[in-house]
Amino acid sequence: MWEKSHYVRAQGTDYGMFIMNMALAGLVLLVIGDSHMVAPNYLIASLHDELTSQQAIVHSYGSCGANASDWVYGMSGNCGQAERHAQEPKALVDFNRTAKGWTVKNLIDQHRPNLIIVEQGDTMAGFGHPTLPQAWIYGKVRALTSAIKAQNIACIWVGPTWGSEGSGYMKTHARVKEMSDFLAKAVAPCEYIDSTAFSKQGEWATTDGQHLTTNGYRAWGKGIAEAIVRLVGQGQVRAEGNRPSPVAQR
């Protein structure tokens, strides 16, 4: 009797893990973000690879210096941009400061994603200013979330990492925590991923106070991807698409 019930529980656990592992299979994912998505060894490498390894079809875009509403109005970043698609081994990076930006609406029309992942935080946190510009941030965030909601597409928002204190970016751990807590409440209907949960303060080294080393971006990309798999696999994010049937493959 015990052996039979134990077998059933084990079988259920294995099937649950199978469902989690297949959570992103066949989905088209659109990933957009700021400078953390631009350089070849940043998230446009690590996160893109992690999501692709989950059998998702991934289209990644980064705009250096962009804030959330720039993705609505097509404003270009001031320090370069990058894009990478599906199985392409490397990102196409353009550091031309006058490069034309993208709009989320055009990207949705082009790729027809089942899920949008937004990585935005640092460019709106007001580092160096005495207070967090909450009303301004909310307006930028609301512009993007409203544009995504209008297309009836599920979304996940990725917040900032700790970074390092004492740099020219004037990033502080206190402001990162304040920004992350604010975004967690402001990005609905998107689900929120708190990137500060992936590491301790100062654990991930940076090159300039804000941007991580290659190892840091690998760890961050892995943490984000695992969080996305959990959110989709547990049904907290409804990202419907053409995917293999788990029942048919049992």
Angle at 211 between CA 193 and CA 76, to 5 degrees: 85
Q: Specify the DSSP class assigned to residue 117.
A: E
| Beta-bridge mates of residue 62 | 33, 82
User: Lowest-pLDDT range, 2-6, 105-109, 148-152?
Assistant: 2-6
Query: How confident is the model over 160-203, as pLDDT tens digits?
Result: 999 999 999 999 999 999 999 999 999 999 999 999 999 999 99
Burial of 83 (0-12, 13-18, 19+ CB in 10 A): buried
Query: How confident is the model over 197-236, as pLDDT tens digits?
Result: 999 999 999 999 999 999 999 999 999 999 999 999 999 9
Check pLDDT > 70 for residue 247.
no
Residue with tokens 């097509």: 74
Check pLDDT > 50 for residue 29.
yes
Between CA 124 and CA 114 the distance in angstroms is 27
What pLDDT is stored for residue 20 in this prediction?
62
Tell me if the pTM is above 0.85.
yes
All domains of the chain in start order, with CATH: 2-240 (3.40.50.1110)
What pLDDT is stored for residue 6 in this prediction?
36
What pLDDT is stored for residue 249 in this prediction?
32
CA-to-CA separations, 39 to 50, 63, 64, 148, in angstroms, rounded: 17, 10, 9, 26
Strands 115-119 and 28-33, how do they pair? parallel
Q: Which residue has the higher pLDDT, 78 or 154?
A: 154
Contacts for 114 with CB less than 8 Å, ≥ 6 apart: 27, 28, 29, 153, 154, 239, 240, 241
